Structure 1
Amino acid sequence: MIIIIRKAILEDLKDIMGIIKQTIVEMRSYNNSQWDENYPQEKDFINDIQKEHLFVIEREGKIAGFTCINKVEPVEYNELNWTLNEVAMVVHRMSVSPAYRRNGIGTELMKFTDELALKNNLRYLKTDTYSKNPNMNALFIRCGYKLVGEMSYLGKEKPFCCYEKVLK
């Protein structure tokens, strides 16, 4: 099984937006409104690609998932009691194609995030997800993240769970 993680390119957009559409349908099936027609949009991913912050994971030549990794923290993070006061790598806009779920793709992307942080001399990671997103909340905990608290975000009805991880 050949798995490659690489920087996304504009030619990947069609596959990425296809995964987004499938993910939104799935999220709606369990009453999760984290993603919708307003967010995330193609322009968000074009911006991520131009800044070289978007990464795709390929399995046998097909895009199985993606994540945006950078040092950009939502201003809402300022309200929380983070363990460290230092620059962190932040995980945004992550999804795995439903066709590739339950195959460790999400875990591979999270491991890649750890490695990318260390390559950039950072030991601190932060992320968040909607409280009504059980899959992502479980993935973060499984990958060693600790819950820091909750924040109101994107005008959503329920709070977002915020997580951190300190690398050794």
Structure 2
Amino acid sequence: MRKAQFEDINEIMDIIRLTIFEMHSYNNYQWDENYPQEKDFITDINEGNLYVLERDGRVVAFICVNQIEPEEYSELDWSSKEVGMVIHRMSVHPEYRRTGVGSKLMKFAEVLAKNNKINYLKIDTNSINEKMKALFIKCGYNFIGEMQFLGKEEPFYCYDKILVEEPKR
């Protein structure tokens, strides 16, 4: 994993196009021509919050992690009142799915949080995004509730995870 650079934008946008095509094939319109856009990733890179995973010299996945919470989060009863980090735009190139890359991105977010002395993570996804919901559960995240978001018809499901200290050996 490394911080994304402006040179990565084309590969990131290729992953976005493929992901949107796949999402729409099962009637998930969480991402579309309006979101996410290239400008979102340029902002993420400028703020140092976007990370990419490379395989065979190409970007195959990305994740944005920061402390920016959508205002809709304030209406939910989260597991902790402590400051948390939030996982935002995240995707894996279809050719690299089902190989553990998604879990690796989630684990990276946990390590990044701990390195920033934060022990709490939050994330959300469209309620019909079964693949992401399954990934969150697999990675130990707890369902918190739902919210309306991005003007979408379906609600978004919100999850969180309190990170525990690893036992000393």
Question: Within the alignment, does 1:89 sit opposite 2:85 as a pair?
Answer: yes
Q: Which amino acid aligns with 2:99?
A: N
Q: Of the candidates 25, 32, 38, which is equivalent to residue 29 of structure 1?
A: 25
After alignment, is 56-65 or 127-136 more displaced? 56-65
Correspondence for 2:132 among 125, 130, 136: 136
Query: 2:95 aligned with 1:99, yes or no?
Result: yes
Give the CA deviation at 1:127. 0.4
Q: In structure 1, what is the Cα distance between the partners aligned to 2:63 and 2:22?
A: 18
* Residue 19 (structure 1) aligned with residue 19 (structure 2): no
For the residues of structure 2 that align with 1:136 and 1:61, how far apart are their CA atoms? 26
Amino acid paired to 1:17? M
Q: Is 1:69 aligned to 2:58, yes or no?
A: no
Cα distance in structure 2, aligned partners of 1:36 and 1:89 = 25
Separation in structure 1 between the aligned mates of residue 143 and residue 56 of structure 2, nearest angstrom: 34
Question: How many pairs were matched up?
Answer: 164
Answer yes or no: is 1:79 the counterpart of 2:71.
Answer: no
Deviation, structure 1 residue 48: 0.1
Aligned structure 1 segments of 4 or more residues deviating by more than 4 angstroms? none
* Pairwise CA distance, 1:60: 2.2
| Stretches of structure 1 lacking an aligned partner (at least 5 in a row) | none
**CA shift for structure 1 position 59:** 1.4
**Counterpart residue identity of residue 155, structure 2:** P
Q: How far apart in 2 are the matches of 1:10 and 1:64? A: 15
Q: Any idea what SS the aligned residue of 2:31 has? A: coil
Rounded Cα–Cα distance in structure 1 between residues aligned with 2:79 and 2:45: 30
The whole-number CA distance in structure 2 between the counterparts of 1:51 and 1:166 is: 25
- The CA distance in 2 between the partners of 1:45 and 1:62, in whole Å, is 17
Secondary structure of the corresponding residue to residue 16 of structure 2: helix
SS of residue in 2 equivalent to 1:57: strand
- Per-residue displacement from partner, 1:51-98 (whole Å, max 9, x unpaired)? 000000111221110010000000000000011111101000100000
